[in-house]
Amino acid sequence: MPSMPSHAHDNRAAAPGLHADLYDAVYGAFRWQVPARFNMAQVCLRRWADDPDQAQALAVIEDGPDLRRPRRHCYGELAAEFDPALVAELQQHVRGRLAPYEYPKEIEFIDALPMTTTGKVQRRVLRLQEEARARERASAAASA
């Protein structure tokens, strides 16, 4: 597993408690300085829980499917026993630590991140999947 880049701040010990490692790893991921020319950062989480088969990676996507309304959308890989309450818990945790423009409005956990053969996240595939879901929601709303 790759280590944190040199410009990242590892503050996992800052918040004691049951989920301190989880929160601080995710918070650290959000705080990584990504140059403006990039719209995605992939980080390997050191520890999501006690089970190493749980979270593997997190991708932070900085643009919406229409590319007109910037937003932060997080994708993470989790084991099947994921608790949906974790999304609200993570959002609440980072809300107090991040500026409003940094706060992730959507957090989505998926089975696996689409990767290239060289190990990079395929942002295009994630964007296409999000566009397809947006079309499905729009057609469902129109037919209702």
User: Mapping DSSP to helix (H, G, I), strand (E, B) and coil, where does residue 40 land?
Assistant: strand
**Whole-angstrom Cα distance, residue 53 to residue 78?**
8
pLDDT at 133 over 50: yes
pLDDT average, residue stretch 5-18: 45
**Whole-angstrom Cα distance, residue 90 to residue 106?**
11
pLDDT at 8 over 50: no
For 12-143, which CATH superfamily applies?
ANL, C-terminal domain (3.30.300.30)
Domain chopping of the chain, boundaries: 12-143
Given the structure tokens 């590892």, which residue do they identify? 10
Phi, psi of 122 (to 5 degrees): -85, 90
Whether this model's pTM surpasses 0.85: no
User: What digits encode the pLDDT tens for the residues 33-62?
Assistant: 443 333 333 333 333 333 344 444 444 444
Q: What is the mean pLDDT of the chain?
A: 60
What pLDDT was estimated at residue 131? 85
Indicate the residue type of 68.
R
